[in-house]
Chains A and B, each alone.
Chain A
């Protein structure tokens, strides 16, 4: 069970959180203007990195807030936790 640091509440065990997939994917403001290829990439294409991954977590059984984390998918080690809307930190990128 991972130890996750909610930027609002502090370190908590993984079972208080839900996973939210890749971070920094912004929903297009005008989806209608995207062609099918671009929309399908937004929907389905993910980086699926082996290495440092920026991902979303939600402290679902705590404060309920979404936030982002950098995790090395090879080791499960977290490099940074930061609030939604903040830029991806430099660490490990």
Chain B
């Protein structure tokens, strides 16, 4: 298949290389473009305007703009099934040989789209229709309405395969960051670099130069504008302290001058190098930011203003002068501004007929209108547009005349294949507003311009409403010098840099602007007048919103969704404001302005994620025995960042079978468990005991060296924060253990008190979590196993009773041995340096085989501790549980004047007998295992809402008891012993009996052996 016969490429001129032909496909059809094209310019060169279907009404849409503000031409570009990028603006897609692009939101084809029925049914879909339409029945919300709306209204589809590309992150610092490399940006960068500052300059397009590349007329210092731009870029590139970043969008402005940039590295290449990242996210901290973001031309709002072939005038100028493409053969220009005259003149000399320039202003005088008339173009002042004609391409326009404020009913139809419109310029204040800089309304420009900045920000050129080239260049240079001076810390008054001057030869232009709809006669055309092209918001929708009482622009925006599409209203916001102001009979500043938010243009998830995905998404912490457990087929669970062995299934076992076997082995013989993840903090210093005495509820000053104690830590508000065994290794040295997840926050809390409340205490805190491997050996045979392995330590019951700690050696390795138990059976915890963890573990495991030793995981550990009523902080407590609630009053040191949280325990509400207290729960049917989190009530057969007494916190099947067990917190629970309560579940109430929390060996006989 060949491309369309007719080519709209000019014979010469522009920034493209006509000798390098590039093949590409759009919607399956083959076309040809040239090097330097965007997809949009290449399509237009082939005479293709129809590029997409609108979001809601599926109206045929053409290319409207030439830059990132494009609302219509959203395409999907695919390289392979995994490299599919939807919703790209064709105006920003750089052409490469073999590019494949598809249009979106149409079926079966772009030219014949059945979704167009929405357009004809549009009276049924006004603004907010989904608030009014999809209400009943409620059951259809998720199953019918949402899938339907999502399918009917939409953008492109994301690929199903994982993204195979690499994305890089980079941090940078500079003195001056210049955003935008048009005339103002280049002048600023040159001036700043000249003063020796470290300068970065970025631009979202492939070639630095901005509007200079699209305007061949003016001469700067005697050279054509594009040539001046090229030389300026070369001057900057030659300097070591300057970084040039083309294809780089500054999309976010964060506090303290942190700017996020998205650099596209390979999307423009036919064959991307395999090792190169696709995109790079820069986070740049700049001393001073110069915003030279330019301005975006405003479309005009009139009936039928969205047909393919209707473009912004500045876009047509860019296509002609930068890409060498005429946008049509016959072109009517509608304008509120002089700039479009230059476009008309350029097109006219390139061979495009210009039947008329319709000027909205009452007078069309000045250099440019005169030049147009001299060129034989008809100029009609006091014009308006009544309608346009055509379907897949505009075929004509009906112009009207405004006389004395009245629109004459009769129009004049002109045949044409292109309409260019210009409503004046809208300064791009997005980033300035993101930085919380104040915006002020400029009535003469009919636009918001930057006011007082919130950061060290300078705005230059068109983004602050300065449009004349010479003034723009001077403004840029001044901003660049000032930014560099601010960096040097020089006073601005005495060291003001010499004013830079530029010799610019260009036509003088007068600037006008229009916000809102063009004047319409009393009986207006039925054609839709679009305000927001991308979200299909019309004049009628805005009128409906104000009629229904929405007056603030924030409300109108959300009700009509104007400005809420992916283009963030770059072309629509001011027209919407104008319409709201007009219909409310007020001024635009009174209507207000919606907040600009990042990103300026969409940023890929890949770019934001960088390398933080897959294995690198989060660090993984493993214990010294991890590989051993893996070999044994352990099933792991995530506990914070830790991987912990949950159970060790043998062939044919499910989790219940494995856990039951592991539990019975511990109770009947002995088990071995990796407890290395326990948090460990060494507390050292002359005042170590005093420090712990103040932090924990327990008494620490009377703890003997070589002894350990179960400690409870509260927050100052009296609720349990953490717990763990604390051993005194020397008079001035304690080994504190914390919960697995609690270690960092406990250390942070201790540091807080140490540094800020009691800096006078002589105490040092060191995290030792990863220094120690902890091997728990638990069960009646535990001592027998260890006796064969340990040296230099007596582990007999008398020498090392429960809660004692001793140093010794195990298989030659120095060891800290704790006699502690989290199972209620005889138990030891062997602490050895982490590097020896695996070899000691293997030695203990081998020696244990003669005594029935079984490795067990966290699931069995949970069951075993629950059988004894030992709590787990964070599971049985939730930040509202006091020591008394948890049955831990015994741990509180007697006669302590103070500890963290003590005063709070004396508040009346903390002593109420009706607080939720920890109790045991036994199901009447011992086979039923309650669900953790299930609610508890005192009457059966209720339906919600009902009074709830508390909930289940822990629940397991206990193999040693042959029944299910559970812990729960219940209002006034300790006074309810023996009561029958109910756990309401979807299958009916489950009867439970309230018991004490200790289910197994309540006397503790098995512990003290």
Let me know if A3 and B756 touch, CB within 8 A: no
Query: Contacts of B637 on A, CB cut-off 8 Å?
Result: none
Whether B755 contacts A34 by the Cβ 8 Å rule is no
Is B616's beta carbon under 8 Å from chain A? Answer: no
- Asked whether any CB of chain B lies closer than 8 Å to the CB of A65, the reply is yes
Per the bound structure, the CA–CA distance linking A39 and B436 in Å amounts to: 39
- Which A residues are CB-close (under 8 A) to B454? 75
Contact B752 A27 (CB under 8 A): no
B194 contacts chain A at the CB level, 8 A cutoff? no
Knowing A18-B748, A66-B752 touch, does A1 contact B907 (C-beta < 8 A)? no
- Say yes or no for A56: interface residue by CB 8 A criterion: yes
Complex formed: what's the CA distance from A72 to B529 in Å?
46
**Contact (A60, B898) CB under 8 Å given A40-B907, A75-B454:** no
Report yes or no: A76 in contact with B904, Cβ–Cβ below 8 A: no
In the assembled complex, the Cα of A31 lies from the Cα of B716 at a distance in Å of 11
Known A1-B255, A76-B255, A76-B256; judge A34-B903 contact (CB<8 A). yes
Give residues of chain B (719-769) contacting chain A, Cβ–Cβ below 8 Å: 748, 751-752, 755-757, 759
Is A3 a contact partner of B748 (Cβ separation < 8 A)? no
Residue among B257, B752, B897, B908 with max Cβ neighbours from chain A (10 Å):
B752
B759, A85: Cβ atoms closer than 8 Å? yes
Is A64's CB within 8 Å of the partner chain B? yes
For A66, the chain B residues whose CB sits under 8 A away are: 751-752, 755-756
Interface residue count on the A side (C-beta < 8 Å): 26
Chain A residues within 8 Å of B254, by CB: 1
Q: Which of A15-31 contact B (CB under 8 A)?
A: 18, 20, 26-27, 30-31
CA distance A31 to B898 in the complex (A): 7
Residues of B in contact (CB 8 Å), total: 26
Residue B378 CB within 8 A of the other chain: no
Contact of B902 with A by CB under 8 A: yes
Interface residue? A47 (CB, 8 A): no
Q: Does A49 contact B (CB under 8 A)?
A: no
- Tell me the smallest distance from the CB of A50 to a CB of chain B, in Å: 15
Q: A31-B898, A66-B752, A66-B756 are in contact. Are A39 and B904 (CB under 8 A)?
A: yes
Q: A36, B907: Cβ atoms under 8 Å?
A: yes
Whether A27 lies near B904 (C-beta < 8 A) is no
- Cβ-based interface call for B389 (8 A): no
Shortest Cβ distance from residue B802 to the other chain A in the assembled complex, whole angstroms: 33
Distance in angstroms from B205 CB to nearest chain A CB is 28
A85 to B759, CA, bound (A): 9
Instruction: Answer whether residue B770 sits at the interface, using C-beta atoms and an 8 A cutoff.
Output: no
A32 close to B (CB within 8 Å): yes
**Chain A's nearest CB lies how many Å from the CB of B114?**
48
A9 at the interface (CB under 8 A from B): no
Asked whether A3 lies within 8 Å of B751 as measured between CB atoms, the reply is: no
Which residues of A lie under 8 Å from residue B255 when comparing CB positions? Answer: 1-3, 76
Check A79 for interface membership: any CB of B closer than 8 A: no
B717 contacts partner chain A, Cβ-Cβ < 8 Å: yes
Closest to A38 in B: B903
B245 CB within 8 Å of chain A = no
Q: Is the CB of B256 within 8 A of A32?
A: no
List the B residue with the shortest CB-CB distance to A60. Answer: B748
Q: Is the CB of B436 within 8 A of A84?
A: no
B759 near A43 with CB under 8 A, answer no
Interface positions, chain A 64-93, Cβ under 8 Å from B, are 64-66, 75-76, 84-85
Contact B751 A31 (CB under 8 A): no
A28 CB to closest chain B CB (Å) equals 8
Residues of A within 8 A of B904 (CB): 39, 43
Instruction: Give Cα distance in the complex from A20 to B753, angstroms.
Output: 12
B431 within 8 A of A: no
Q: Residues of A contacting B257 with CB < 8 Å?
A: 3
* Cβ contacts under 8 Å, A20 to chain B: 752
User: Is the C-beta of B285 less than 8 angstroms from some C-beta in chain A?
Assistant: yes
Query: Which residue on A lies nearest to B257, using beta carbons?
Result: A3
B283, B436, B898, B903: residue with the most chain A Cβ atoms closer than 10 Å: B903
Q: How far is the CB of A66 from chain B (nearest CB, A)?
A: 5
Contact B436–A3 (Cβ < 8 Å) = no
How far is it, in angstroms, between the C-alpha of A7 and the C-alpha of B254 when the chains are bound? 23
Cα distance, A35 to B285, chains bound together (Å): 49
Task: Type the 1/0 row for B260-299, where 1 means its CB is closer than 8 Å to any CB of A.
Answer: 0000000000000000000000010100000000000000
Q: Is the CB of A1 within 8 A of B716?
A: no
B436 to chain A, nearest CB (A): 7
Contact indicator B755/A32 (Cβ below 8 Å): no
Q: Which of B680-716 contact A (CB under 8 A)?
A: 716
Complex Cα distance, B903 from A31, in Å, reads 6
CB pair B903 A3 closer than 8 Å? no
The smallest beta-carbon distance between B939 and chain A, in angstroms, is 35
Q: List 14 A-B contacts (CB under 8 A).
A: A1-B254, A1-B255, A1-B258, A2-B256, A30-B898, A31-B903, A36-B906, A43-B904, A58-B751, A60-B748, A64-B751, A65-B755, A75-B454, A85-B756
In the complex, the 3 A-B pairs of residues with the closest C-beta atoms, listed nearest first: A31-B903, A3-B256, A76-B255
New A-B pairs, 9, CB < 8 Å, besides A1-B255, A36-B906: A1-B256, A3-B258, A30-B897, A31-B902, A34-B903, A36-B908, A58-B751, A64-B751, A66-B752
